[in-house]
Amino acid sequence: MVQLDPAQKQAPAAVEVFDKRQMILQAKHDVNLLLEKSKSVINSDKAKLENLQVISSFTVLAKPGHEKETYEIYRIEVNKVNEQLILNKESFDIQLEETRPGKLYIVCGRYEEKEPKVAQEEKEKVKQTEYKIEKLPPCRLSEQDKADIAVTKEALATMEPLELTGKQWEIFRGRIYRTARMVKHKDFGKLTNEEKLDVVRCAISPHEKAAKKMGFKYPEPGDPKMDDIQKAAETLSTRKGDCDDLSLLYIACLKRLADNNEIDLKGASLVIAGYFDPDAKAVKAHANTLQILVKGNEPNVYLVDLTLNTSKKDLSMAPGKAIAEDSDFRKRFAEHMNESRDDGLKLSPSLMELQVYSGYSAVEVYYYEKKGEYLLKNGKDSDATDQLTKGIDIAERDGVPAANSYFLRVDGWSNIIQPTTELQSKLSREGKMDEADSYGTVVREFNECILEDKRKGIAQPVQSSYSLSRGSVSTFNKAHGAEAEAMMVTAIKKAQFRDEIYPTLWEMYSKEGKYAEAAKTFQGLKDELDKTGIDGGKIGEIKRTLDGYVGQAEKKLMK
């Protein structure tokens, strides 16, 4: 609750009979009166401000049964005034705070940090050199903002991955506009599209001053949020998330701005880079976003990084190519990620796989894919298939790829039906055929769904190393050996750091007796890994495994 100086209190605004039009006029009058009083105090009584946060205030008593409508009317008027205060770089703002749920509201002017007066030439000098962000009004969230921006688990369960509540967007949009003043020294509406991208990044990235003021943090090692994925509303609610969580929130903000015609955005995509990290000697993944903006008559692709080398970069390439398959793009992507790395620890483009989820629907599919994968790892097969099905439904509705989701759902359904399959086999062995047949119907239905998902997964036009390798096994089991082996080799070349798929390729060659082809293929893959100059960790183990396969194949050929 706001603690007020008695001298600041005003009589409550009495509301005898609820009249919406009259209430709007009353709200305008009250908020504008508060605005003038706040300005007057700031201009005349600076000593008083040293220990004063609330400049002036008044109480709104809502008529019973019309509390929500009253709150909304005052909220709209407060927002209108605050937008102008942000544009004018005032050192205070107006806040509407609920002190008793639905009954009593305090509207008050809150003092923040007044920018010191400097001569005009000094202001210009600061703008041309290093602008002191600390001298601008901060973007911190009030306690009421933090409460209003929070979303309950129950509400979150019904929301889409890129959806934000009206209250969340109202509060955060104001902070984005304030960030524009802090970072670009312009009104948000006067920025170029490229500058707007950067402003939204600065408002979210936990490494940026504006985002730090709002409380954005990256999870600490060991935090369970590192393994799971969050909806945009949850990340904004907690103001904590890793690279893909923050990327989803970033894209959600751009979508809202684009829907409101506040930015000319032609596309937003999520880029997931899987790579071998020579520092950790382990495989990791990193999420970034891509935006396609129209610059002149040509579309340009921008990379926005929120957590690693936080920045916005023009990649100087036109869209149209399959970005994940573009070796030049992969090289530039690796260069970006290597900017803060020592020479001996730089990432190799050949040990990096890029997956691009193009468009809002594809980004939603990614969310459900990762949520399903997380639940599968934690043994929650039924919940996992429910999440994966949501993503697949979006993919089939909007025509976006979902190969990974199909194969992950195969795993979920296989795990769910496994106990029933085992029970059916047991009953058959015991001669209880009627009971076995009743379970057999369920098993057949699941197996038909599993086969259909495998078929759809293989048929996807854009595939990752994971989905290609899974599709390769399915193809091989249908006695299409050569086609399956070619798919597996392609899967390996897309992600040479995936050590689990090399044994599967060797098994295929062995079953087909293709030892000459095996020796040639594995030696070629080993030669490619030699070019990276990495001998330790997982890559060193893979190279030794490949040497072993080459040796085994040559021995078979000598017999």
pLDDT at 372: 97
Residue 238: is its pLDDT beyond 60?
A: yes
C-alpha 363/C-alpha 358 separation (Å) is 7
Cα dist. 179→162, 183, 184, 193, 502 in Å?
22, 6, 8, 15, 49
* Better-scored residue on pLDDT, 225 or 49: 225
pLDDT at 199: 93
* Better-scored residue on pLDDT, 86 or 183: 183
Residue 131: is its pLDDT beyond 50?
A: no
Residue 15: is its pLDDT beyond 50?
A: no
Contact assessment for residue 187 and residue 181, using Cβ atoms and an 8 Å cutoff: yes
C-alpha 144/C-alpha 53 separation (Å) is 15
C-alpha 151/C-alpha 159 separation (Å) is 10
* Better-scored residue on pLDDT, 458 or 111: 458
Same domain for 106 and 24? Answer: yes
Residue 516: is its pLDDT beyond 90?
A: yes
C-alpha 470/C-alpha 482 separation (Å) is 15
C-alpha 474/C-alpha 458 separation (Å) is 8
Q: Alpha helices, DSSP H only, in 99-231?
A: 120-128, 143-149, 153-157, 166-183, 193-204, 209-214
* Better-scored residue on pLDDT, 490 or 81: 490
Q: Which of 117-131, 289-303, 324-338, 446-460 is least confident? A: 117-131
Is residue 344 domain-resident? no
Contact assessment for residue 462 and residue 446, using Cβ atoms and an 8 Å cutoff: no
SS3 55: strand
Same domain for 6 and 107? Answer: yes
101, amino acid identity: P
CATH number at residue 539: 1.25.40.10
pLDDT at 461: 87
pLDDT at 65: 79
Same domain for 559 and 475? Answer: yes
Is residue 29 domain-resident? yes
Boundary of a domain, candidates 438, 463, 488: 463
pLDDT at 9: 44
Q: Which residues of 502-540 are buried (b: 16+ CB within 10 A; e: fewer)?
A: bebbbebbeeeebbeebbebbbebbeebeebebeebbbe
Using one digit for the tens of pLDDT, what is the confidence trace for 427-451? Answer: 889 888 888 888 888 899 999 999 9
Q: How far is CA 69 from the centre of its chain?
A: 34
Domain limits at 48?
Answer: 1-116
pLDDT at 231: 96
Same domain for 470 and 535? Answer: yes
Residue 389: is its pLDDT beyond 90?
A: yes
* Better-scored residue on pLDDT, 36 or 408: 408
Residue 98: is its pLDDT beyond 60?
A: yes
Residue 42: is its pLDDT beyond 80?
A: no
* Phi, psi values for residue 295, rounded to 5°: -120, 105
Boundary of a domain, candidates 116, 151, 167: 116
Q: Which tokens belong to 432?
A: 């209880």
Residue 379: is its pLDDT beyond 70?
A: yes
Longest dimension (CA), the chain: 102
Is residue 247 domain-resident? no
Using one digit for the tens of pLDDT, what is the confidence trace for 348-377? Answer: 888 999 888 989 999 999 999 999 999 999
Same domain for 3 and 91? Answer: yes
Contact assessment for residue 219 and residue 240, using Cβ atoms and an 8 Å cutoff: yes
pLDDT at 403: 95
**How would residue 83 be classed by pLDDT, with cut points 50, 70 and 90?**
confident
Same domain for 470 and 551? Answer: yes
pLDDT at 518: 94
Q: Which tokens belong to 61?
A: 């008593």
Is residue 530 domain-resident? yes
Boundary of a domain, candidates 116, 149, 173: 116
C-alpha 162/C-alpha 533 separation (Å) is 41
Contacts of residue 354, defined as CB under 8 A and 6 or more positions apart, other chains included, come to 271, 272, 273, 323, 324, 329, 330, 333
Same domain for 525 and 554? Answer: yes
C-alpha 296/C-alpha 99 separation (Å) is 51
Using one digit for the tens of pLDDT, what is the confidence trace for 264-320? Answer: 887 688 889 899 888 878 888 887 776 666 555 555 677 888 888 777 777 665 555
Residue 28: is its pLDDT beyond 90?
A: no
384, amino acid identity: A
Residue 107: is its pLDDT beyond 80?
A: no
Contacts of residue 74, defined as CB under 8 A and 6 or more positions apart, other chains included, come to 27, 30, 31, 60, 96, 105, 107
Residue 544: is its pLDDT beyond 50?
A: yes
Give me the residues paired with residue 108 across strands: 57, 95
Q: Residue 76's CB: how many other CB atoms inside 10 A?
A: 15
Residue 30: is its pLDDT beyond 90?
A: no
Environment class of 229 (CB within 10 Å of its CB; exposed 0-12, middle 13-18, buried 19+): buried
pLDDT over 90, % of the chain: 42
Contact assessment for residue 41 and residue 49, using Cβ atoms and an 8 Å cutoff: yes
Task: Report yes or no on whether pTM surpasses 0.85.
Answer: no
Residue 453: is its pLDDT beyond 90?
A: yes
Of the candidates 112, 142, 172, 171, the one whose C-alpha atom is nearest the C-alpha of residue 1 is: 142
C-alpha 365/C-alpha 85 separation (Å) is 40
Q: Count CA atoms closer than 13 A to 162's CA, side-chain side.
A: 23
Give me the residues paired with residue 294 across strands: 299
422, amino acid identity: E
Q: Residue 356's CB: how many other CB atoms inside 10 A?
A: 19
Residue 253: is its pLDDT beyond 90?
A: yes
Q: Alpha helices, DSSP H only, in 497-558?
A: 502-512, 515-530, 537-558
pLDDT at 216: 93
C-alpha 475/C-alpha 458 separation (Å) is 8
How large is the angle between the packed helices 360-377 and 381-398, nearest 10 degrees? 160
pLDDT at 291: 66
Same domain for 456 and 469? Answer: no
Is residue 418 domain-resident? yes
**How would residue 11 be classed by pLDDT, with cut points 50, 70 and 90?**
very low
DSSP for 142-175 reads: PHHHHHHH---HHHHHTS-TT---HHHHHHHHHH
Residue 249: is its pLDDT beyond 70?
A: yes
Same domain for 388 and 469? Answer: no
Q: Which of 140-149, 280-289, 376-385, 475-484 is least confident? A: 280-289
Is residue 420 domain-resident? yes
340, amino acid identity: S
Residue 78: is its pLDDT beyond 50?
A: yes
C-alpha 110/C-alpha 52 separation (Å) is 9
Average pLDDT of the chain to the nearest whole number: 83
Using one digit for the tens of pLDDT, what is the confidence trace for 521-539? Answer: 999 999 999 988 888 788 8
Same domain for 27 and 61? Answer: yes
Number of domains in the chain: 3
pLDDT at 298: 58
End-to-end CA distance of the chain: 86
**How would residue 473 be classed by pLDDT, with cut points 50, 70 and 90?**
very high
Is residue 549 domain-resident? yes
Contact assessment for residue 453 and residue 407, using Cβ atoms and an 8 Å cutoff: yes
* Better-scored residue on pLDDT, 17 or 47: 17
* Better-scored residue on pLDDT, 122 or 268: 268
Is residue 200 domain-resident? no
Same domain for 12 and 102? Answer: yes
Residue 132: is its pLDDT beyond 50?
A: no
Q: Which tokens belong to 424?
A: 């059916």
Same domain for 1 and 98? Answer: yes
Per this entry, what is the length of the chain? 559
